[in-house]
Amino acid sequence: MQIEMAHIKTQGINFIVFNADAPSRMQQDRQRLLADLVRRARANRLRVEKAALAFNESGRTTFFGAPDLVRFLASSGLPRWTHTLTV
């Protein structure tokens, strides 16, 4: 399965946003999914300091992850996907 992601460096911080959500939509499962995707991105030699998931919920884009990154994404919007990750 291919997961779209955006790997971006802004204000000196490397962050990744994954186009994914946990099937259960529970917070603990989202946290596990995010940790797994970050681990896989790092294994592919991407530098990751902060990360978030982006998904549609009730017809709008929602973010889950590092609180300051989520606030940044909520105000700036969804970035363009730059890479794909095979899982």
The residues spanned by each domain of the chain are 2-79
pLDDT score of 87:
85
Q: Yes or no: say if 27 and 21 are a contact pair by the CB < 8 Å rule.
A: no
Q: What is the pTM of this model?
A: 0.93
What confidence score (pLDDT) does residue 17 get? 98
Judge contact between 34 and 50, C-beta under 8 A: no
Give the span between the Cα atoms of 38 and 43, in whole angstroms.
9
Contact present, 40 and 3 (Cβ < 8 Å): no
* pLDDT value of position 1: 85
Reported as a single tens digit per residue, the pLDDT across 10-65 is 889 999 999 999 999 999 999 999 999 999 999 999 999 999 999 999 899 999 99
Neighbours of 86 (CB within 10 A): 8
